[in-house]
């Protein structure tokens, strides 16, 4: 159930998403149902429903709500879809996805973040999300293929190995560009003849880094 904390802010939160063009009712409902305050640092809970990114552990961020909603809407999710997320962070994006598809596999390189996200998602009953500590640039073959892939950290280029994980008709969305500065959100669709690429909007994300982080 949605949290009752800061009801005026939550009302503005939904209004802001609609004013900025989010129209998918399932996405809006998921954004309403998932309590964002559960995924931010304690000191930031009063600001949980502002449309801005916030810092979390390990020098990472939780994306601004509009970006979360926009990326989710662009994925055109269906209930039977299996989704891969690269960059779990606090688990907020995975929680949103969990309401819209059948299964989410989310990969995080920081153990602290992976453990924290796993606990939050379990507490909220997001039983269709699996959090894995691992390298988003080296997805194990045993993970299989996916209907949708979402990358929540900036990549200078999208690895071919990642696009090859898309099922036919599958879709990937990722911020592409320099690690420091502005990136472009790119959507890739796997067709019968190859891949179709579309550039969407400019964004700013923390960099996607290879390997599993040393610090726990």
Beta strand segments in the chain, E:
54-55, 61-62, 82-86, 103-108, 129-133, 146-151, 166-176, 183-190, 195-203
Do 107 and 162 touch, CB atoms closer than 8 A? no
Structure tokens at 190: 């796997």
Question: Which distant-in-sequence residues (6+ apart) come within 8 Å of 151 by Cβ?
Answer: 85, 86, 87, 136, 158, 162, 172, 173, 174, 175, 208
Q: Say how far apart CA 52 and CA 30 lie, in whole Å.
A: 18
Under the phi-then-psi rule, with left for phi > 0, alpha for psi from -120 to 50, and beta for the rest, what region is 154? Answer: beta
Cα 166 to chain centroid, rounded: 17
Q: Say how far apart CA 106 and CA 165 lie, in whole Å.
A: 14
23 is catalytic: no
Alpha carbons within 13 angstroms on the beta-carbon side of residue 59 total 9
Among residues 63, 102, 142, 145, the one annotated as catalytic is: 63
- Catalytic residues, by residue number, are 63
């Amino acid at each position: 159930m949605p949290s009752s904390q800061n009801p005026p802010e939550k009302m503005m939160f939904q209004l802001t998403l609609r004013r900025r063009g989010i129209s998918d009712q399932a996405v809006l409902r998921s954004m309403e149902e998932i309590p964002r305050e559960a995924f931010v640092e304690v000191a930031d809970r009063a600001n949980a429903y502002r449309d801005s990114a916030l810092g979390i552990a390990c020098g990472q961020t939780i994306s601004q709500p509009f970006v979360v909603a926009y990326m989710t809407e662009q994925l055109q999710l269906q209930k039977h879809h299996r989704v891969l997320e690269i960059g779990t962070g606090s688990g907020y994006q995975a929680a949103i996805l969990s309401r819209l598809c059948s299964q989410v596999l989310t990969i995080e390189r920081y153990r602290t973040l992976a453990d924290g996200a796993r606990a939050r998602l379990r507490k909220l009953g997001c039983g269709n999300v699996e959090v894995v500590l691992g390298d988003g640039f080296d997805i194990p073959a045993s993970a299989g293929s996916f209907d949708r892939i979402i990358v929540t950290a900036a990549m200078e280029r999208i690895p071919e190995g990642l696009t090859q994980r898309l099922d036919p008709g599958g879709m990937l969305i990722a911020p592409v560009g320099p690690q420091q500065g502005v990136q472009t959100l790119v959507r890739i669709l796997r067709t019968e003849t190859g891949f179709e690429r579309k550039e969407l909007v400019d964004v700013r994300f923390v960099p996607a880094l290879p390997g599993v982080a040393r610090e726990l």
